[in-house]
């Protein structure tokens, strides 16, 4: 058993990589409980990360990132008081690593996988359409629990914003829904069934992300005919979702559950401001306030709330959110 190890993984067939591990380096096999954590960024929510570790059922936890260091290792292994076999952070900062057999093996052995914050475009550039993504989807099907914060949350929906052209503000997106920065993809990266036809966004209120989130949904509706769902998460807030769709919101902010109406945007085209009004009811929004103990009451299977929530509508008129 190794209590702390800093490692450079090297093999004759693949590129060297950097990882940090704490705990037992020998794989242990447990039966994870599944589910997904959507964290809105900034300070991690202890209660949500505690939930995440419990879903690992004592197994091995893997943190994947494209920048930064090993800040999650001690936090997840010791500070939250949930026993797990190991916590390993792997730096995946180039596309060449996506075929590394050692990394792929570690993904396939993990009971819990967490995507750290960083540059969302890097995650798409380095992982999408690679054996890394294939291994991650195998773990989803096998019942591993997944989670992500900030950019790591942004890649979890089956419809996702790539950020490959850089980030985009709500003002920019609402003014021109086909701005090159509004680059969306669907069904070709992570395939978590709970997030079918769903696009996530984070740093929600702090960075005024509501408007661009509506643009993402409008584009997916117009381009692909999808009746879209969206989940927005404030900073210092996290949504924890069990495999049966029950969501609990932890933290100091809110989670926002959006679902489009039956009718497409009135105006969604290049170089024109978005209009998606439908008499002020374009998108239904359920707001659930987080709490330290966790606020239950929303289910992703029927995308409805049954308690402690505020329901309303959002719309857009000539590029202005209403």
Which residue blocks in the chain are alpha helix, DSSP H? 46-55, 71-74, 101-109, 120-127, 131-142, 151-154, 170-175, 210-224
> Could you tell me how many helices (H) and strands (E) the chain has, helices first?
8, 20
Is the confidence at residue 170, as pLDDT, over 50?
Answer: yes
pLDDT of residue 9: 53
CA distances from 111 to 63, 88, 166, 199, 315 (A): 11, 12, 32, 24, 41
Contact (CB, 8 A) for 164 and 189:
no
pLDDT of residue 310: 85
Is the confidence at residue 3, as pLDDT, over 80?
Answer: no
Tens of pLDDT, residues 31-67: 999 999 999 999 999 999 999 999 999 999 999 999 9
Tens of pLDDT, residues 144-166: 999 999 999 999 999 999 999 99
Q: Domain 31-321: give its CATH architecture.
A: 3-Layer(aba) Sandwich (3.40)
pLDDT of residue 11: 47
Collapsing DSSP to helix, strand or coil, 274 comes out as: coil
What is the pTM assigned to this prediction? Answer: 0.95
Contact (CB, 8 A) for 39 and 154:
no
Tens of pLDDT, residues 223-241: 999 999 999 999 999 999 9
Collapsing DSSP to helix, strand or coil, 101 comes out as: helix
pLDDT of residue 12: 44
Mean pLDDT, the chain, whole residue set: 95
pLDDT range class, residue 208, cuts 50, 70, 90: very high
Dihedral sign of CA atoms 67, 69, 73, 75 in order: negative
Give the mean model confidence (pLDDT) for residues 179-205: 98
Tens of pLDDT, residues 82-133: 999 999 999 999 999 999 999 999 999 999 999 999 999 999 999 999 999 9
**DSSP letter string, 229-254:** EEEEE-TTEEEEE-TT-EEEEEESSE
Question: Contacts by 172-175 with C-beta closer than 8 Å and gap 24+?
Answer: 172/212, 173/211, 173/212, 173/215, 173/216, 173/274, 174/211, 174/212, 174/214, 174/215, 174/273, 174/274, 174/316, 174/319, 174/320, 174/321, 175/273, 175/319
Domain ranges of the chain: 31-321
pLDDT of residue 223: 97
Any idea of the CA torsion for 171, 205, 224, 192, to the nearest 10 degrees?
Answer: 150
Tens of pLDDT, residues 293-308: 999 999 999 999 977 6
pLDDT of residue 1: 46
pLDDT of residue 13: 53
């Amino acid at each position: 058993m190794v209590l702390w190890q800093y490692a450079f993984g090297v093999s004759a067939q693949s590129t060297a990589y950097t990882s940090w591990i704490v705990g037992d380096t020998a794989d242990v096999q447990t039966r994870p409980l599944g589910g997904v954590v959507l964290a809105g960024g900034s300070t991690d929510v202890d209660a949500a990360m505690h939930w995440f570790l419990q879903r690992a059922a004592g197994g091995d936890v893997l943190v994947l990132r494209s920048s930064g260091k090993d800040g999650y290792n001690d936090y997840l292994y010791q500070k939250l008081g949930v026993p797990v076999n190991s916590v390993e952070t792997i730096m995946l900062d180039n596309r060449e690593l996506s075929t590394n057999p050692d990394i792929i093996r570690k993904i396939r052995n993990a009971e819990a996988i967490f995507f750290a914050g960083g540059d969302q475009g890097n995650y798409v550039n380095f992982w999408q359409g690679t054996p890394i993504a294939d291994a991650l989807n195998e773990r989803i099907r096998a019942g591993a629990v997944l989670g992500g914060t900030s950019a790591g949350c942004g890649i979890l929906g089956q419809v996702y914003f790539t950020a490959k052209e850089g980030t985009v503000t709500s003002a920019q997106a609402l003014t021109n829904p086909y701005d090159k920065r509004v680059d969306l993809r669907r069904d070709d990266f992570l395939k978590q069934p709970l997030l079918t036809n769903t696009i996530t966004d984070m740093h929600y209120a702090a960075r005024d992300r509501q408007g661009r989130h509506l643009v993402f949904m409008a584009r997916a509706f117009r381009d692909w005919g999808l009746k879209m769902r969206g989940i927005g998460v404030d900073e210092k807030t996290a949504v924890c979702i069990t495999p049966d769709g029950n969501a609990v919101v932890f933290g100091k902010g809110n989670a926002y559950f959006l679902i489009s109406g039956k009718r497409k945007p009135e105006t969604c085209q290049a170089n024109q401001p978005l209009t998606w009004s439908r008499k002020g009811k374009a998108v239904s929004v359920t707001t659930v306030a987080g709490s330290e103990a966790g606020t239950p009451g929303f289910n992703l299977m029927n995308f409805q709330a049954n308690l402690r929530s505020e329901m309303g509508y959002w719309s857009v008129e000539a590029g202005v959110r209403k």
